[in-house]
Each structure stands twice: as structure tokens, then as C-alpha cells.
Amino acid sequence: MKVGIVMGSKSDLPVVERAQKILAEFGVEYVTRVISAHRTPYAAETFAKTAEENGIEVIIAAAGKAAHLGGVIAAYTPVPVIGLPIKSSTLDGLDSLLSIVQMPKGVPVATVAIDGSENAGLLAVQMLSIKYPELREKMKAYKKKMEEDVMKIDAEMQL
């Protein structure tokens, strides 16, 4: 099981690292690349067209501003793509979110919140868990721990 993470710029790395951490926590292999939909369109095409043969089963595409990377990747691959809008200084990431979420019919890109890197990683794990039952069990344990953590905080508040 392998996730491909592409980001439009190295400046996206601080956000992307949170998805990498989630994937590592679940034992999911990933590869991270800097590929720009606008500055390196042929590299984006090549990455997308060869993703499946390179063992990539889900792609997380992080991009800011015009944020076309996820859509360009999705146009060239049958592999599911998760768009991760990056908060930019222009419109606080709203531009990125709208660019990613407004895909034309036939080119789906699942989209998480602006800078929602953890959810991008978790969604990738959930997609992979359809094929890998061990990930489904790890996800159940993750959700149970999350519940227990909140309940512990709630109990402490009642004291």
C-alpha cells in the first residue's frame, strides 16, 4: 500500500508533513514530490500516468492559490485523488478550496478542509482500508482512542 503526495511548492511542506505523520502512524508507505501543475505540467502528467504502475493507490495533491494540481493529476489517472487546499496569503485559502472542490463532471477530486492535512492522511488510510483489512482495524482503534481522549478530558472538567 502506497500513497503519493504531491505538492505544488516546497512551501507547502509544513502542512503536508502532518499528513505524512498520519500515514507513518498507520504504517502506510508514501512518496512525496514537488510538482507544479503550471510550472512543470509534463512532470504532473507523467507522475499521474505512471502512479498506478508505481504502486500508488491513493494520491494526496496539496496546492495553494489557483490549486489546479489535484485536478490535473485526476485528469490523467484512475487512482483516487484527495485535494488538500493550502492556505495562501491571498484569500486565506478560500481560493485554493474553491479551485479544488469545483471539478467538472467526470474528474472527481475528494477535498478536505483548508490546511486539513491530517484529514487528507486519514481519508487516504480509509480508502486503502477497503483493500487492506489491517488498516480498517487500525482506523477503528484510532477512532476509539480519539473517543477515549475526549471522554477523559470531559471527566476531568467535571471535577
Q: Which residue is associated with the grid cell 507513518?
A: 24
What value does the mean pLDDT take over residues 51-76? 96
DSSP of 89-144: TTTTTHHHHHHHH-PPTT---EE--TT-HHHHHHHHHHHHTTT-HHHHHHHHHHHH
Helix (H) or strand (E) holding 81: strand 81-86
- CATH code of domain 2-157: 3.40.50.1970
What value does the mean pLDDT take over residues 99-112? 96
Cβ–Cβ under 8 Å, residues 72 and 45 = yes
Quick: pLDDT tens for 7-63: 999 999 999 999 999 999 999 999 999 999 999 999 999 999 999 999 999 999 999
pLDDT of the residue at 136: 98
pLDDT confidence tier of residue 154, bands split at 50, 70 and 90:
very high
pLDDT confidence tier of residue 159, bands split at 50, 70 and 90:
confident
Pairing, β 58-64 against β 2-7:
parallel
Quick: pLDDT tens for 79-103: 999 999 999 877 899 999 999 999 9
Quick: pLDDT tens for 125-149: 999 999 999 999 999 999 999 999 9
